[in-house]
Amino acid sequence: MTGPADPPPRTRAGFVSLAGRPNVGKSTLVNAIVGHKVAIVSDKPQTTRRAIRGVATHVADDVGWQLVLTDLPGVQRPRDALTERMQRRVESELADADAALLLLNGEQGVGGPGDRFIAAALASASVPVVVAVNKVDRLNHTRLVEALQSAADLGLDAEVFPISARTGKGVPRLLEELTGLLPESPFFFPPEDRSDQSERVMLAELVREQVLRRTRQEVPHAVEVQVEEVLEEDHEGEGLITVRALLWTETESQKGILIGKGGAMIKAIGTASRKELERELGARVHLELSVRVRRSWRADDALLDRLGI
């Protein structure tokens, strides 16, 4: 005669939206918590265009948890069809979240108009809010105290965590706070998943990251990448993945910059992108890049739909 079966382990799962001014380090923090690169990183503002979800899962015998992080596009007042879509996505994600994390840039100073604008949006979102001051590894003691006080003065009635997403300092305590806010729930994703992005979107973003690193002024914001084809082939007895991608830009002059003198720029972008794609796919990659002009694509709703923005 057998005794009663052990009850299944309890699990907690939920969605946490990351909000903050452009370039505060949201993508770096998502990658740090997930333990895998799921969001591209750049020193240029407005890098993130899609609400990218990173999935961090802890499986345990007693209580396991799954934290689904939504790296929101930088909250801002809309300027065009692209930024209007980004802002609507911010509002939608916050409405569906179990909690929100306001990430502040301690290095640039805390409590300016942008931070107050976002704090007010979070205050009206009806979800628990946690505040983190990022880049504290670059602050001396006096500046750190000032940044933490300014964060507390935003009026969100939330605990403030000093962290460095780049080094990992303070991230475990922040993670403990966030997972404590999750409701009891089955996991939303298999434990091995790290993102809800499709493979093509992830590959396109890795290419766009290399464009961001090599171009200046308006060009980075005028470029979008679309992966058209991913083919697995056998080449001389070895696996080879061919990736064909389009780089959309808005003017012929921007196209010329992307191609570069004698094709030098597009070659550099392609070489660096291929290495990132090979790291992501775990296989040899042949990458084909083409540059096309589509005027005012950021105001083209049909193209934005196709690009998944």
Total domains in the fold of the chain: 2
Q: Give the residue from 144, 55, 51, 60 showing the smallest Cα distance to 90.
A: 51
Enclosing domain of residue 215? 199-306
Same domain, 37 and 160: yes
SS3 at position 271: helix
Do residues 125 and 221 both lie within one domain? no
Establish if 236 belongs to a structural domain.
yes
Q: Are residues 285 and 176 in the same domain?
A: no
In three-state secondary structure terms, 155 is: coil
159 and 261 share one domain: no
Task: Please name the residue that has the structure tokens 């094709």.
Answer: 263
Nearest-angstrom CA–CA distance, 29 and 164: 8
Task: Give the dihedral sign, CA 90/93/98/103.
Answer: negative
The whole-angstrom separation of Cα 116 and Cα 133 is 14
Which amino acid, residue 148?
L
If asked whether residues 208 and 78 sit together in one domain, one would say no
How many whole angstroms separate alpha carbon 55 and alpha carbon 189? Answer: 8
- One domain, residues 235 and 266: yes
Same domain, yes or no: 135 and 65: yes
CA–CA gap between residue 72 and residue 169 (Å, rounded) = 22
What does the pLDDT profile of the chain (309 residues) look like in tens digits?
A: 444 555 556 899 999 999 888 788 888 999 999 988 887 776 655 555 556 678 999 998 778 999 999 876 655 555 666 566 666 766 777 788 999 999 999 999 898 888 998 888 888 888 899 999 999 999 999 999 999 999 999 989 899 999 999 999 999 999 999 999 999 999 999 999 988 888 898 899 899 989 988 888 767 678 889 999 999 987 666 789 999 999 999 899 999 999 999 999 999 999 999 999 999 898 999 999 999 998 876 666 666 666 665
